[in-house]
Amino acid sequence: MRAVLSLLITTALVGAPAAYAQSNNQYQSGDATAVTDVQAGYANDAGATVVASGNAVSTTQENNDTDLTSSQHMDGDTTAQADATVWTATNNVAITSAAVGNGGTAVISGGTSNIEAEQLGHGDANATATLRNGYSYNAAVSSSASNNTAAVSAENAEVRVLMNQESTGSVNASAETDADYVEDQVVSGVIASANNLSIGGETATILNATHQNATGASVTARSDLYVGSATDASGNATANANSTTIDNQWGYVNAAIEQNATSQVQADSYVTLDREFTGFASAGAYGVGNQTSVTNVGSDAVLDVTQSNSGGVSANSALAADGGGMALASSAAYGNSITGAVCNGCDANGGVPGLYASSSQTNDGSVYSSSTIRTSGASTVGATATAIGNAATYSARPPGG
């Protein structure tokens, strides 16, 4: 089926000429580094945002038939570092860092667009965010790192996407929070992804052929959240070597996806509360070698997915807190994961959309997951840990099913 799908999409791409054509060719051999350092004794609100990227491209098309080609090649390292010390903030504190070796976005509204893109990330991508805080009403710290990231959004359109992503460098994202008293909510979120593609559509036809290859030494995400006292506290870490997500409504989807990973993948989330919390406290970690998720509403979806992972995958979460409300810790580790779903009762014309899927998964790496809770007492305590080599889930359900 893969050969048929790829031939179908390739043939469509080289068919009739588009009304508009755009070509992008980017090469960065040096490093890209961005740093912020904030020192504040008092503020109402405080924020720091840092973004580093080797190559970035974006396009917006409205009611055009277009051919879009893009080649991005990053050989240097990408580093984003956000450091902040805010002793008192009467309102909110937000610290964000993002390191993206190659980044591309396309927004399509109306017409037919043919997109052929290649992203080669051969350096390392590192993003860190650090917050030291005495008092704030709300506090949020986030960090994300990726060698290759692409996003396509389509509305009332037909898009054909040929994507090739290659990551040979290591990817690391980390966030560290040390706060004394957060009156309402304190959150920490970390994402590390070697290769990432997302396609979203509404009233759109989506044809996609994707190849992702991650061979860097490691992909790691770590969230470390310490707070003396808070109403709610939440820390989450997600790490993946390859990820492809297609989410469409009211249109046909046809996708051929091949993912190969050898990188070691690790996601760690640690949450520590020194005193009581009154709401909830949670730590979550998710690690996966190869991940594909395709959902469609109102029409058929055809999938052909091949995944091969040989790197070890681990996910670890830990929560330590004195008495309070709900205490949760969850972790999940997968070598390969596929999710395909359609709503089979959502066709406005009375038809019954179908899900047609073919998949092959091979995992040679070890998979490990752990969750730990230490608390003197809480109204609800729950911990889950999941480790699966290969997982494929398909569903065709009516609304609410």
pLDDT mean values, one per 10 residues, the chain (401 residues): 38 49 96 98 98 98 95 98 98 98 98 97 98 98 98 98 98 98 97 98 97 98 97 98 97 97 98 90 98 95 98 98 91 98 76 91 98 93 98 87 58
Contacts of 281 by beta carbon, 8 Å cutoff, 6+ apart: 230, 232, 233, 234, 271, 273, 319, 321, 324, 325, 326, 327, 328, 378
Phi, psi of 367 (to 5 degrees): -130, 125
CA-CA distance, 114 to 161, in Å (whole number)?
Answer: 6
Query: In one letter, which amino acid is 55?
Result: N
**Residue 237 belongs to domain spanning:** 2-397
Token pair 């277009």 is found at 66
Query: In one letter, which amino acid is 379?
Result: S
CA-CA distance, 39 to 257, in Å (whole number)?
Answer: 46
365 DSSP 8-state letter: S
CA-CA distance, 368 to 387, in Å (whole number)?
Answer: 6
Question: Radius of gyration of the chain from Cα atoms?
Answer: 22
Query: In one letter, which amino acid is 9?
Result: I
- The pairs formed by 37-40 with CB atoms below 8 angstroms and a separation of 24 or more are 37/83, 37/84, 38/83, 38/84, 38/85, 38/86, 38/95, 39/84, 39/85, 40/84, 40/85, 40/86, 40/87, 40/89
pTM: 0.94
Query: How confident is the model at residue 346, as a pLDDT?
Result: 73
Strand partners, 140: 94, 187
HSE-CB at 355 with a 13 A cutoff on CA atoms is 21
- The DSSP element (H or E) to which 9 belongs, if any, is helix 2-13
Strands 158-167 and 112-121: parallel
Total domains present in the chain:
1
Instruction: Single out the residue of 326, 144, 170 nearest to residue 236, CA to CA.
Output: 144
Query: How confident is the model at residue 400, as a pLDDT?
Result: 63
